[in-house]
Structure 1
Amino acid sequence: MKLSLRPSSTLDLEIHVAHRVALFRDMEMGSEDGLRRMADTFRVQLRNWLVTGQCRGFLLEDEGRPVAGVLMLMRETLPTPVTPLSVRGYLFNIYTEPTHRRQGLAARLTDAALDLARDLGLEIMELHASLEAEGLYQRMGFVPTSEMRLVMGAGIKTPKLWKNRH
């Protein structure tokens, strides 16, 4: 296996959309209809972000075939006493194909995104980790925060993933 890391471009849009669908499917979150609706909306949103540079990504390829990816969004937020910057990095869509898991690919992608964030001058990076991945990100220096979430939409069920956090 010969892995190569490269930045994403708009030409990789469908790869990142497929990764997003796969990661939610792996977590058993959402129906197939919900995944399809999410993919349709995400495709348009991500294309806009990639074109404007608000989002950057990386892919790891095994002999030219993408097997893992990450996206980093630069998003506006409120300044805090921790940092006056109103832009934070947000890592998402961190996905590795099942055949390539447990080989350090997520850590390698995260390191690449963190290096880019440092180069851009970002001071805070955030992500939402699955329960399975929390240990990895804590070993990389991420700390759990006090974020809470209230689902207010009629007919929307709180995913069991959100209910089982300790």
Structure 2
Amino acid sequence: MIKMRPVLPKDLDLICRHREAMFAEAGRDAREIAAMNPAFRDWLKPRLQDGRYFGFIAEHDGHSVGGIGLMLVEWPPHPSHPSDDHRGYVLNVFVEHEQREPGIARLLMDAADREFRQRGITYAILHTTKAGRPLYDRTGWVQTSEMAKTIQPVAG
């Protein structure tokens, strides 16, 4: 049986490992992932401690089999959330490869929905890979018009 528990500060290493594996499976360059890891760890640690990063760990027989991270993002009122000044943000959705069949990712997404609802969040966003898109489609997420661009730093 799968049990959900809230993420805790002690999950720092686990969440970092999940994030690294998530990006590796998405085909990101190993050097880029390695460059991100220390900065992500430094970013995550205080947010786990003060609750700005929250979410769930899925466990089976006391062992982690997946996780999901959640945050609140300040955002001006928008037609999709006309009276709210924030959005929910889903990140670091990961399920161990050998555990992917039993629907654990769906359980994690359902837990995220409940948590956002309890916190009064009316609109949430996430970024997905091609492989993750079917899960999000099945759980009511829709594609938006967002685009992205990497801005090169000023040469020093």
TM-based fold match above 0.5: yes
- 1:108 equivalent to 2:95? Answer no
1:34-53 → structure 2 map (5 Å cutoff):
34-53=32-51
Residue 68 of structure 1 contacts residue 94 of structure 1 at CA under 8 Å; is this kept in 2? yes
- Number of residue pairs matched by the alignment: 152
Match of 2:145 in 1: 146
Moved over 4 A (4+): none
Distance in 2 (CA, whole Å) between partners of 1:82 and 1:19 is 31
Query: How far apart, in 2, do the equivalents of 1:9 and 1:107 lie?
Result: 21
Q: Report what 1:162 is aligned to.
A: none
Residue 131 of structure 1 aligns to a residue whose secondary structure is coil
Q: Is the 8 A contact 1:3 1:62 kept in 2?
A: yes
Distance 1:145 1:128 in 2: 10
Listed as ranges, the gaps of 5+ residues in structure 2 are none
SS of the residue 2:45 aligns to: helix
Give the CA deviation at 1:99.
Answer: 0.5
Deviations along 1:66-85, one digit per CA (max 9) or x if unpaired, are: 11000001111121133221
2:97 alignment counterpart: 98
Task: Give the percent of matched residue pairs that are identical in Structure 1 and Structure 2.
Answer: 32
**How far apart are the structure 1 equivalents of 2:100 and 2:80?**
35
CA contact (8 A) 1:54 1:75 kept: no
Deviations 1:5-40 (A, max 9, x none): 111100111100000000111111022x32222111
Partner of 2:65, secondary structure, is strand
> Could you say what the CA RMSD is over the residues aligned between the two structures, in angstroms?
1.3
Q: Does 1:72 align with 2:74?
A: no
**1:158 maps to what in 2?**
none
The TM-score, its normalising length taken from structure 2, stands at: 0.92
- For normalisation by structure 1, the TM-score amounts to 0.86
